[in-house]
Amino acid sequence: MTAGNKENVRLFDAGAKGRGLKASKAFNTGEVVFAEPSYSAVVFDSLASQVCHSCFRRQAQLHRCAQCRFAHYCDRTCQTACWEEHKQECAAIRKSGKAPSESVRLAARVLWRLHKDGGLASDSQLVSVDQLQEHVDQLSQEQLQQLQRDVRVLQDYWSYGSKQHSAEYISHIFGIIKCNGFTLSDQRGLQAVGVGLFPNLALVNHDCWPNCTAILNHGNHSAVNSALHSPRRIEVRALGKISEGEELTVSYVDFLQLSADRQNQLKEQYHFECSCKHCSQHISDDLMMAAADGQDSPPSAEQIKELSAFSKETLEKIEKSRLDRDYSEVLKLCRECLQKQQGVLADTHLHRLRVLSTAAEVLSYLRQFSEAADCARKMVEGYMKLYHPNNALLGMAIMRAGVTLWHAGQVEEGHSLICKAYSILMVTHGPNHSVTRDLEKMRGQTERELKMLQQNEDVYAPKKQNISSCSADDSAKAFLREQ
């Protein structure tokens, strides 16, 4: 949290939920409630050479740290900005000969930061990091064994003079990270690339239908004058009007699950029972398991049960083929499943939505845009009946669907969806996020093409699919490649 907006929130006792944050003043839709630079953050092991360790942007060509040969950066500006955070890690990697897992690297960075700050909360923090909630005592036997292995690795990896920490304290830090770690996305919001710790964000409680969203802003280091650079930070924005004194909430999990499944996920990962309105009243569960309507003879309960089991089994096969990069098999499975689901499962049924999403993604990758557009359209129609109207995941899905329709030559409908996505992402991401700026470029491009279509339908119509596929700017192409 920056010092300039710490007064926007206040800490309070939330009863059974522990601590929480309330708004100290009223906020309008899309307004930043607070922003907070990461206390510590690391790139995932699997993407260590593909993502900048400073700004967390994915880049084609990164510069490697010449000393540890593990950390990668966009350029010297990013490397310099990250040096204070990386220098202890750099020495430890050189001493041990290799980098440990992301969980050990993050725990080590947290400990180095605590050591540097003397264990005290900074002026921008509401509590010290080591005062955050953890649930080590509730871990399973398997999780405890993994924790003990991580503790031993960190003790060998640790490098800070003679300063050592007990196994109990290190376990406490690992427990804090497990309960409070925030997944970080790349600059396009399409892929999870790392994990970070944000102490003030960790105090915001969960609700499946929240009034806030937390989005990573990757900062800006492009200015020549470093004084004008902005840091990597989380921005917590209001999804609707928030009254003074109202509790701030974000969602810890994707809403697109049955209430019981969301509750199980929250219990397993965060160790609490969700009793929010949408869980306790099972809101939207009926839509997520709905049968298709409008048929002369509605599908029987037995038909729905059999097809749900078939769909679940097919989704497992689809995921396996995806991991094997066998996209022709993925497409075959999707088409077969969608055909069987037709007339039996509603377009809001979770199994159907997941198959539609995968089919749209793979068809776009294979440049079969016309069929991809049909799947994307149905998927978005289902999503809009289920998600909060300003949900960031909904905005991203509508954006991808709009780009797909645009590439399919359906410029008017594509433009409409891109504009819809833009209005949502302006709320969730704000005008200066790279996702929103890219989307603004696409919106301008589709608007110009639409004007061409309206001005000269006879000349433009035979060419529109070719124009949409070939003239779309780099941002749109990147979104399709990275789905």
Rg (CA), the chain: 24
pLDDT digits (tens, 9 = 90+) for 362-381: 999 999 999 999 999 999 99
Structural domain total, the chain? 4
| Residue 211, domain CATH | 2.170.270.10
Say yes or no: 135 and 217 in one domain: no
| In contact, 67 and 94? CB cutoff 8 Å | yes
Domain annotation covers residue 380 = no
pLDDT digits (tens, 9 = 90+) for 320-370: 999 999 999 999 999 999 999 999 999 999 999 999 999 999 999 999 999
DSSP label of 242 = B
Task: Tell me the residue range of the domain where 99 lies.
Answer: 39-191
Say yes or no: 260 and 296 in one domain: no
Q: What DSSP element (H or E) covers 51?
A: none
Spans of the chain below 70 pLDDT: 1-4, 159-163, 221-229, 294-296, 457-483
Say yes or no: 132 and 212 in one domain: no
Angle at 206 between CA 203 and CA 209, to 5 degrees: 140
Domain annotation covers residue 469 = no
pLDDT for the residue 443: 95
pLDDT for the residue 2: 42
Q: What DSSP element (H or E) covers 256?
A: none
Say yes or no: 132 and 175 in one domain: yes
Q: Of 275, 295, 321, which residue is a domain's last? A: 275
DSSP label of 11 = E
Say yes or no: 214 and 326 in one domain: no
**Encoding tokens for residue 96?**
């041990």
